[in-house]
């Protein structure tokens, strides 16, 4: 690249940082006019296409760069980022594994590569990239934030605390960081609460601007046994999210009823898959916060089992393999269309999409609680699949999701009641349709009689007992769920009957569940 072309490229990079994409395009055209074979022109157009959200076009231009100059690590990492966005994870991992060793002096692309690995739940691969980016530019806070998030999932809790404290020291009003700090430990006094209340008094009075603080305050008040204050802030958080969320619980209820109507015993017996996909999948499902992560940790402590974590891949495959504009959820129409597909093709597409995570163990776990919706497809597509359904006291289960900041159906007690009743109907349907193919575990039994339930679990999966399964707290594998801190502890019963601390506030929910036939 000539010195003049380098200057044009530099101007284009500056324009890109400023969001002046017409200027970027003009620079790219000028570089191409001077030298049609210069890969920088294609790279700049790729950046512009990426900014416009044209994933396929961006990927095409980054591919052009690599075809001209295979050493362009920037184009390779940009391409990997596009592959992740398109959920082509195997291609993304291949690029990252090939080029990451060349990034040691590029903090921006170290962080981007780390984010790509992180998005694929490959946290151990992301960690050293985040570390190196932070060493090169310790003043860049987003690098610190990414590193802290990864540290939590890897069980480096003290490191995460230290990183979040550094961020708060520089930005004491950063609500998301206060929230993350509140999740890493149980509050022992009101010091952090006072800090957050001070921010709340001075901040934008609109509730939607304070969601993270509401949930953080609720959590720390609960830690201190201040039950009324805790519930007040949990409710404020839920009300704030619901005021801006585009969500109607009736859509989820309709979906579950459609699944019950579609995935019948007759449908299940009509042309099921007959082969296997090599490894034996274990699907752990249930409502969130019912012990699915605990069960995953117990099973993945076995020498023959690997946890592939949580993914939306089964849902993606059932949608037809399309990202659908990063669509969240699945429609009744897509369920109906998926029910007509050849079952073996669903299993094969899922295994291919998940292959970037799989190791040598003969069993692997997919622990997405929401897959409880798709158990009919699981049973039909995998004749060798193990299905484990976690149950928990309905009130404890409902309260556990109500007090979290990210379950769309749990921001109000009314929505939560409707959703739970539909889920309860679906659970009874699976019990009738799947019979012994579905092993049910009760959270309360698991935490009060760990060894007996662990033995029952392993027997149900078809595995020999191993002592390591009772010592799951020593499992060093990453955890990427709301329970990422708690599951590194030994089994405890602190959460059993927790809802009773909020019995008065939760009475309307309890009444709705009882009216719907749920034993509470």
- For residue range 307-346, list pLDDT tens digits in order: 999 998 999 999 986 444 345 689 999 999 999 999 999 9
Residues 348 and 465 in one domain: yes
Residues 92 and 227 in one domain: no
In-domain check, residue 158? no
List the domain range (segments joined by +) for residue 497. 249-515
How is residue 89 written in tokens? 């994870």
In-domain check, residue 520? no
Q: What is the 3-state secondary structure (H, E, C) of 153-192?
A: HCCCHHHHHHHHHHHHHHCCCCHHHHHHHHHCCCCCCCHH
Of 205 and 505, the structure prediction assigns the larger pLDDT to 505
Confidence of residue 132 (pLDDT cuts 50, 70, 90): very high
The count of domains in the chain is 3
In-domain check, residue 219? yes
Average pLDDT on 283-311 reads: 95
Residues 212 and 260 in one domain: no
Residues 201 and 289 in one domain: no
- For residue range 361-401, list pLDDT tens digits in order: 999 999 999 999 999 999 999 999 999 999 999 999 999 99
* Cβ partners under 8 Å of residue 93, min gap 6: 117, 120, 122, 356
Give the domain-ending residue among 207, 225, 244.
244
In-domain check, residue 129? yes
pLDDT of residue 326: 43
* Cβ partners under 8 Å of residue 3, min gap 6: none
In-domain check, residue 49? yes
pLDDT of residue 324: 41
Task: Describe the crossing of helices 175-183 and 141-153 by its angle, rounded to 10 degrees.
Answer: 20
Residues 381 and 257 in one domain: yes
Residues 129 and 235 in one domain: no
Residues 20 and 78 in one domain: yes
Residues 220 and 295 in one domain: no
CA distance 72 to 67: 10
CA distance 418 to 303: 41
Average pLDDT, the chain: 93
Dump the DSSP string for 15-78.
HHHHT-HHHHHHHHHHHHHH-TT-HHHHHHHHHHHHHTT-HHHHHHHHHHHHHH-TT-HHHHHH
| CATH number of the domain bearing residue 376 | 3.40.50.300
In-domain check, residue 167? no
CA distance 308 to 368: 10
Give the domain-ending residue among 146, 164, 189.
146
Residues 329 and 446 in one domain: yes
In-domain check, residue 396? yes
pLDDT of residue 277: 64
Name the percent of the chain lying above pLDDT 90.
86
Residues 195 and 344 in one domain: no
Residues 377 and 321 in one domain: yes
pLDDT of residue 323: 44
Residues 371 and 509 in one domain: yes
pLDDT of residue 473: 84
């Amino acid at each position: 690249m000539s010195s003049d072309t380098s200057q044009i490229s530099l101007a284009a990079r500056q324009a890109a940082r400023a969001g002046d994409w017409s200027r970027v395009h003009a620079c790219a055209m000028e570089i191409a006019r001077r030298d049609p074979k210069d890969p920088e022109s294609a790279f700049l157009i790729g950046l512009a296409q990426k900014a416009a959200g044209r994933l396929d076009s961006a990927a095409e231009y980054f591919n052009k760069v690599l075809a001209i100059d295979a050493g362009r690590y920037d184009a390779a990492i940009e391409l990997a980022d596009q592959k992740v966005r398109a959920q082509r994870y195997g291609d993304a991992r291949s690029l990252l594994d090939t080029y990451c060793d060349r990034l040691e002096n590029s903090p921006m692309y170290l962080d981007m590569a780390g984010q790509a690995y992180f998005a694929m739940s490959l946290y151990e691969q992301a960690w050293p990239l985040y570390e190196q980016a932070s060493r090169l530019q310790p003043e860049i806070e987003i690098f610190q934030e990414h590193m802290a998030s990864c540290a939590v999932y890897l069980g480096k809790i003290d490191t995460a605390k230290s990183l979040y404290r550094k961020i708060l020291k520089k930005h004491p009003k950063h609500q998301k960081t206060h929230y993350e700090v509140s999740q890493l430990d149980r509050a022992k006094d009101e010091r952090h609460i006072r800090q957050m209340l001070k921010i709340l008094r001075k901040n934008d009075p609109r509730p939607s601007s304070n969601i993270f603080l509401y949930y953080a305050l609720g959590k720390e008040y609960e830690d201190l046994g201040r039950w009324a204050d805790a519930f007040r802030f949990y409710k404020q958080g839920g009300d704030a999210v619901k005021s801006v969320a585009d969500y109607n619980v009736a859509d989820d209820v309709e979906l579950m009823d459609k699944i019950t109507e579609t995935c019948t015993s007759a449908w299940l017996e009509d042309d099921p898959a007959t082969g296997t996909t090599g490894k034996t999948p274990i699907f752990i499902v249930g409502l969130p916060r019912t012990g699915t992560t605990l069960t995953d940790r117990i099973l993945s402590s076995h020498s023959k089992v690997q946890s592939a974590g949580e993914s939306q891949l089964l849902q993606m495959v059932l949608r037809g393999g399309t990202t659908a504009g990063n669509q969240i959820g699945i429609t009744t129409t897509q369920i109906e269309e998926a029910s007509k597909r050849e079952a073996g093709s669903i299993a094969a597409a899922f295994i291919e999409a998940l292959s970037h995570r799989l190791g040598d163990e003969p069993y692997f776990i997919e622990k997405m609680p929401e897959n409880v919706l798709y158990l009919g497809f699981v049973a039909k597509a995998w004749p060798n699949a193990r299905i484990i359904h976690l149950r928990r006291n309905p009130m404890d289960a409902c309260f556990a999701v109500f007090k979290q900041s990210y379950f769309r159906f749990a921001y109000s007690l009314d929505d939560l009641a409707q959703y739970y009743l539909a889920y309860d109907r679906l659970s009874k349907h699976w019990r009738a349709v799947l019979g012994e193919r579905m092993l049910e575990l009760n959270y309360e039994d698991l935490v009060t009689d760990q060894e007996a339930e662990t033995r029952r679990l392993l027997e149900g999966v078809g595995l020999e007992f191993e002592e390591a399964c009772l010592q799951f707290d020593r499992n060093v594998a990453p955890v990427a769920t709301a329970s990422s801190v708690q599951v590194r502890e030994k089994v405890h019963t602190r959460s059993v009957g927790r809802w009773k601390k909020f019995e008065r506030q939760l009475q309307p929910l309890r009444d709705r569940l009882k009216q719907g036939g749920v034993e509470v």
